[in-house]
Structure 1
């Protein structure tokens, strides 16, 4: 009798638990992220968002058993070593699983905000007179090309401006919602130092070739199409962050060892000349305005994947290759309409650039009218002013 009672109790409890909880299944770039969510987390939200709607949403969801979802998100972040930008992509996908963006954009955005704040980040919401919901996060980095606002001397960057690309926020200015979430104090960083561990099956192969020293070199590089999605809405970060975006694992393994093999036996200067010409001639050139209709910096893996690339993209790729293979000190020179890289050698070549008491030789990774060697600069740049926007000094030098 007692055993029957226990079985009945467990059945009732399990059924009740199953009705009150649901499992979230999120495809995170080929890997499955799962979390158990309280069904009560899914609340009704009108399509027109006003400040009182935000306050009511927070009260309703905050009163549910939301913590298991947050715990699962943060545990996955630690386990997979996700930088903040990648963690935000996980939050976006989780919010989409809870409340699809296409069904109710405002509610989807509210879930992104809730999950990010409950993860400890200082994220804010603002509403425009035309009832657009703007999502901001506290950030203390040098970010360009997206809106921001200042509250209490803290800068908040807009995370969802891409959803309102044609909106003039000066004409329809957002007003912050006065709502403080306890514990949401962390700043958000756009620095990406590691890409996800994509499955091998998700990679595609691309053939590259270029000629060096009357010899043609061929490459079969593995690239992941999902990298493009990761950086689809990535803003213009400062050059210290941009030049340190890595390749994914399989891409690295399919390219760097082959380059090292090709460079074996070459003197370092010749090897860097090889990398300069690989970056210059293995890809077709087209400026961003013609290619994308706007300025868009590509990560090194995106540059390898893209049909066309410009000077920003090639400078970042060349910097990455030299750093990985030779780890030489480098500086990035920004001109009004161009950017290039200069490398510090034991003995400078050509007309060196003097920076911080050291001599650097220009290594032009972008095609020019002239066939430039190391230490040579395009004639149209010789009399233009430049700014050193990034200086890399290897540890121990």
Structure 2
């Protein structure tokens, strides 16, 4: 129980701000005062998200609270875009907080906006699900339970899923990215969706012969576009479709692009591969899947081929001086975009840690770039 309260203290502390400090530098309250308020509000053994949220509100200054409420932007009615907007807002304003601390503030803001929010966290990771659909929460709860997460939820959700308000599943946390799957899941097909997610995260499905890997390793280096156009074997296509298609089939274009980006970020480790002091070894898609690592161009090649297989939208290769990214024709999305021949292409960079479709690396803002159309046959 002591360990549970340590975690709760940790997240409540993140929302504490001095009254007149627009620089957001005073983000931590005294631990003993938090402890006293815990005792006063009777959180021992069972704590609902709504009560913790009220405690956070008391700790927020009027200035910061007004800034956050303004960020809710009532005209944004899509839950996913609202979540993305709030996440970006908190990330910009609370730069000293880590990812889980920032997500806890986002969850509190979503609750403030009248959106039921379930928040799960462990020693190593954390997740938010915001929705009005109880079946999505039930599926999220299964994930939390199976992966030993602590869970916080509003009273309304707690009443429909008994004892969900606070569960101790232990400290061991495995990094999950279930958000995109659960948020877009088909309500009538929850079990299949859960199984599809397990397939989506399988890292051992792609096995290639030593002869083929030796061929790739000794292949002369080519222009990036040739790697993107390199043919895939029928077996690889089948494996990819069996792994990813069940989950992706319920999603719109933006969520498909985001899901594939997440898949790469969580399964392909970042790795530099300079071969002679200046030139890099560009990998074929199969090499990246086999070695489970790659740098920006390797991830972009894999991402482009997956997007073409599952989304089939026009794409651009975006080359900066020291970086490579993609841009996808998603006309209804309005973040970082490139306009070419009357089309709007949204930046999609699988190398940004915890990045989302539409994000641009801060170091690339204002940098010059060259674009090249990817003309798939």
TM-score normalised to structure 1 length = 0.43
Structure holding more strand per residue: 1
Structure holding more helix per residue: 2
